[in-house]
């Protein structure tokens, strides 16, 4: 797993109604484009839990079948972004899928951190298809950024 620490805050530009910039709800009267076609999502988002204790924040991400070498974590002052790719083996023979619910391909997960953390005290473990990243809360009097 690759890990990079960035010394600035993470920001997502939001449009009206709290949607990402450019996203519009159906029937929006201010919508400028008449027709929007989405063929497929370029990436998927794995499920995650964020747990805060007295001294730490732990992010647990479900990544079954993802090779550890395909993971990258970006640490911002106020968020962690985990990106990677899951590749499943191709189907054998001339069979037919009756269900295809396992997402594969590139993924991206953006997790806002609820409190300031110490960037020098981060631990990550990947075991059994779960990536667990533990952040130590920053001392309010000092900041490592």
pLDDT in tens, 95-134: 888 888 899 999 999 999 999 999 999 999 999 999 999 9
| pTM of the predicted model as reported, rounded to 2 decimal places | 0.72
The pLDDT tens digits of the residues spanning 69-82 come to 999 999 999 999 99
Number of residues in the chain: 145
With a CB cutoff of 8 Å and minimum separation 6, the contacts of 25 are 17, 19
The answer to whether 4 and 75 have CB atoms below 8 angstroms apart is yes
For the chain, domains (ranges, CATH) are 2-21+39-87+103-137 (2.60.40.790)
């Amino acid at each position: 797993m690759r890990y990079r620490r960035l010394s600035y805050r993470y920001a997502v530009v939001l449009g009206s109604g709290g949607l990402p910039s450019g996203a519009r709800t159906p029937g929006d009267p201010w919508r400028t484009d008449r027709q929007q076609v989405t063929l497929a999502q370029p990436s998927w988002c794995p499920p995650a839990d964020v747990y805060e204790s007295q001294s730490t924040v732990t992010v647990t991400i479900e990544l079954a079948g993802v090779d550890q070498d395909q993971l990258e974590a970006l640490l911002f002052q106020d968020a962690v972004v985990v990106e990677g790719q899951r590749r499943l083996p191709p189907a054998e023979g001339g069979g037919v899928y009756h269900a295809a619910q396992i997402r594969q391909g590139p993924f991206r997960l953006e997790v806002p951190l609820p409190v300031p953390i110490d960037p020098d005290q981060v631990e990550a473990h990947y075991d059994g298809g779960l990536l667990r990243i533990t952040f130590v809360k920053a001392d309010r009097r000092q900041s490592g950024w």
